[in-house]
Chain A
Amino acid sequence: MSQLPGIITDWFASKGWSIHPHQHVMLEQASAPCTLLIAPTGGGKTMAGFLPTLAELAEGSQDGLHTLYVSPLKALAADIKRNLRAPVEEMGLPIRIDDRTGDTPASRKKRQRADPPHILLTTPESLALLTSYEDAARTFKGLKRIVVDEIHALAESKRGDQLMLALARLQTLCPGLRRVGLSATVDDPQAIAGYLACHPDPCDIVQADPGPAPDIRMLETGNAPPWAGGGAAYAIPAVMEQIKAHRTTLIFHNTRAQAEIFFHNLWLANEDALPIGIHHGSLDRVQRERVEAAMVRGELRAIVCTGSLDLGIDWGDVDLVIQIGAPKNVKRLVQRIGRANHRYNAPSKALLVPANRFEVVECRAALEAVREGDLDGDPRGPGPRDVLCQHILIAACAGPFDADELYTEMTQAGAYAGLSRPAFDACLEFCATGGYALKAYDQWQRLLQRPDGRWQLRDPRATQRIRMNLGTIQDADLMKVRLKRSRGGKPLGEIEEAFAATLTPGDTFLIGGQTVRYEGLREMTVEVSRNPGKKPKIAVFSGTKFATSTQLSTRILEMFKQDSWPALPRHTADWLELQREVSELPRAGSLLIESFPHDSREHTCIYGFAGRNAQQTLGLLLTKRMEELGLDPLGFVATDYATLIWGLEALADPAPLFELHALRDGLDGWLAGNAVMKRAFRGAATIAGLIERNTPGARKNGRQATFSSDILYDTLRKYDPDHLLMDITREEALRGLVDFGRIEDMIARIRGRITLKRLERISPLAAPLLLEVGKVPVKGAAEEKLLQREAEALMQQSGLAGLAQ
């Protein structure tokens, strides 16, 4: 179908629009089984995805569902519905369009299953849910095309894995189904194409004209950035000037906490009372929607935001993007820059604001990478098995299934193409019986094998529980924050339960740009009152802390090799010169360790350049080894490029600390009991269906209903360490939060070449680490001692000490 019906071309002509070349290519490609379109933001990507559908539906002969559109955001589905319905109505096309997300009322959902629209706009979770019904085959009958929007973002998460397994299901139901992926600029289009295609079918890649190169620079400020810290408060006046000089500015931050602090400071400097908003994932949905609406109406001059604005919705007239803090990842930076100037063929304008002097170096490296078009990206491992387990349960909800057929179907999803039969069988076994080493559970299994060999749910009522717990998005334990009922009870957002537990009435913290006072807990909700007076604590939000990418770290080490740094600001070049004088600069082919006394403690600084997560893990493993060697470590702190350890004894011989096998042993023993592993376990156990977040009719107080995932983890570690979920947990943690892979890479890179520099005092490069937040105390016997001391003090204070005996 390369010819557009006249009704559509006439409409384009009446608007004075022409069809972009890549939109033409997508029309010519319409009958291909799989196409990936890569286009910059503002390139008419969505229209390119829908044009073939409109062309095919124009004559009005389609009965039932024709095209499914899947986006990672509910808001995007609603937005597209509006933006698509308008032209369809103007053209007078006989096309019904509807959306289906978690927010859609149940009555409409029911109607959609019985009488689906021609175009259904949905999310991965809602689609997975649709495939779990017995009547899925009827709902999807006649489906021709599926359009996956923002596939570059989905492909990085388990939501994408879930979606691709659902597509495999749909492909079985509708063998002629054609797939289209819409993606922003990425480092490895081939990888996304392989992810999208029905394995082993090929996938064509269409590259739209990337448009002019972005206009991107470092923000120049009157005063130099500080040695350490992430607030970038020094840049507030300069940022304010930029906001005034532009129509609308997006100000991106790497974490929600930083966004809150910056927003707070920006308002203190906002003498002209310019309309400036804040937007991040922990804010209440109503508040976020209000900011989004104001943005679309062009009422805001700036929005302070996080990754929550990385995707999708067309924000109108943004003419400047500011990135506060080092970008950590070049690909994401390029995608963020694309948010400015949504008009095709106009260069996007962006400014980088380093928060400290090391970030000046990082920003410089990132600018060069953007200029050279050198995008970073770590290849993603094989599809995670916890998602596979959930999908087996979803399949069982839809009706009895044959294991051979399901295995064949699942391996058609690119991420699972390499899945072995034994690995699949282990997941099936887990779903059926729990997969425990001892088979005490046969009489209570969840799935049963029928005489005809097919598998079915033992109890059909289980479908309700499975559907309620479907999905792969992991909320940390978040608690809602609202104003006290007597003051209106307005919801403000969410904070982590762990942070809430540290609050006592009277404490103040920042949320949504306002300072509030903690009043108390009420039915699992944090109640607060407005209190602008005191200096607030900083709430801990669950936003991801990204580690600097391997490619960016390599670039920084390359820069360190230079004789001088004319491209860097004077203050930063001087700082590096000084480091070279008193110690040396870290190099790629060896490991620099500095040892120096400071503040009556011995310090050891290890410049591994392995990214925050790996440096953190290194800190845990090394302090454990140092304790065994009698070096009395007291604590450590990690950044993207170094780990600083302090203790009572100086390190004389580093070699034994960096033996790979010894570190590995530590990983299996010491780290296995670590909170990081428990967090990974909780995620895997929830997705795989061992822990249910939602139970029908669960009691509110939850005392009997919830199981501590930590206790389940400890029990499995003790009695069944080779259990499937333990295996999945290790795999996840090693490549995610623990990131042991990058420690192994580092040790391979240095090949035993370790330089230990004994210094009289702290070095310029190590100094910023002293000011880093997130210091980790080394807990051992010390923890019990501190508890005893605190308990004694409490008993004395309360006058109860005499009563105890």
Chain B
Amino acid sequence: MNGFDFTLAGARLTALGSGALWWPEQQALCVSDLHLGKSERHARRGGSALPPYETQDTLSRLAAVLDGTNAKTVLSLGDSFDDDDASHALPKAEQNLLASLMQGRRWIWVEGNHDPSPAVFGGEHAAELKLGPLVFRHIAVPQAAAEVSGHYHPKARVRGTSRPAFLLDQHRLILPAFGTYTGGLRSTDPVLTELMEPNALALLTGPRPTAVPMPR
């Protein structure tokens, strides 16, 4: 598998090049910040009409990862929809694609700040979730331990190119955004440098996930 293996609170995890997190022992896949329906929300709020293909693109990439891992459980770690209305407004074809991905799997929607109560697509809803030694929530809590979160869309710059990245230290893991139209926050931002321990790593996504000391 194209991934970077590491351990967090005793759980053996793999950061995938796509930006998804794979937990072999639990057969669980975790993705964060899908922001489905973003172009629709943008248009609805009076902005220009962005190419309305990002939901299709995000779901297609997710389908490819699910094919590769054959995950039994999927955790969507918040901001799965760009807002609650966007979840209602997904076009039929995309609803069907999503339904086919959920088919036969345990699927957990963790609440995010964009989508505190998304529409019913089946699956379970949770403000946060404990699984084995780990706790999954959308926004990291400063004093927490064994925590997996998203929200910040971290990215890191090495050799002049910037890529979405996982941020990892002894206490927590922050996932990059999986959605197609999602900007990023540089790892050098004070919010992230204060949250992460001094010896934190950035795991760069891409064809071969690669660890570097988190650029500060």
Contact = CB atoms under 8 A, between A and B. Distances in A.
A465 B42 CA distance: 13
26 contacts: A433-B49, A434-B48, A436-B49, A438-B52, A440-B40, A441-B40, A462-B46, A465-B46, A465-B47, A689-B48, A690-B49, A706-B183, A711-B181, A718-B57, A719-B53, A719-B57, A784-B206, A784-B208, A788-B210, A791-B204, A798-B199, A798-B213, A803-B199, A804-B201, A805-B5, A805-B7
Interface string A400-442: 0000000000000000000000000000000001101010110
Interface in A656-712: 689-692, 695, 702-704, 706-708, 711-712
A584 to B, nearest CB: 41
B50 A707 contact: yes
Contacts of B157: 501
A441 B212 CA distance: 42
B54 interface: yes
A800 interface: yes
Interface residues of A, number: 47
A443 B199 CA distance: 50
Contacts of A438: 52
Contacts of A501: 157, 160
Given A444-B43, A787-B206, A791-B210, 11 more contacts: A440-B40, A689-B48, A695-B47, A712-B50, A712-B51, A716-B51, A791-B212, A794-B213, A803-B201, A804-B211, A805-B5
A697 to B, nearest CB: 12
B49 A441 contact: yes
Q: Which 10 A-B pairs have the closest CB atoms?
A: A434-B49, A444-B43, A719-B53, A798-B213, A791-B210, A791-B212, A715-B51, A440-B52, A690-B48, A440-B91
B44 interface: yes
B183 A707 contact: yes
Contact of B53 (A707, A715, A791, A803): A715
Contacts of A794: 158, 212-213
A692 B48 contact: yes
B82 to A, nearest CB: 10
B180 interface: yes
Contacts of A712: 50-51, 181
A692 B49 CA distance: 11
Interface string B175-206: 00000110111000000000000010100101
A776 to B, nearest CB: 14
Contacts of B185: 703
A444 B49 CA distance: 8
B180 A715 contact: yes
A469 B213 CA distance: 40
Contacts of B47: 465, 692, 695
A200 to B, nearest CB: 35
Interface in B135-189: 153, 157-160, 180-181, 183-185
Interface in A433-483: 433-434, 436, 438, 440-441, 444-446, 459, 461-462, 465
Contacts of B201: 800, 803-804
Given A459-B46, A465-B46, A787 B51 contact: no
A720 B50 CA distance: 12
Most buried by B among A438, A444, A702: A444
B207 interface: yes
A795 interface: yes
Nearest to A466: B48
A718 B159 contact: no
Contact of A795 (B7, B56, B211): B211
B121 interface: no
B57 A691 contact: no
A723 B52 contact: no
Contacts of B48: 434, 446, 689-692
A63 interface: no
B211 A791 contact: yes
B210 A787 contact: yes
Interface in A718-736: 718-720, 723
Given A707-B183, A784-B207, A790-B158, A795 B212 contact: yes
Interface in A63-107: none
Contacts of B153: 703
Contacts of B208: 784, 788
Nearest to A705: B183
A34 to B, nearest CB: 36
Contact of A444 (B5, B40, B206, B213): B40
Contacts of A804: 4, 6, 201, 211
B57 A790 contact: no
A562 interface: no
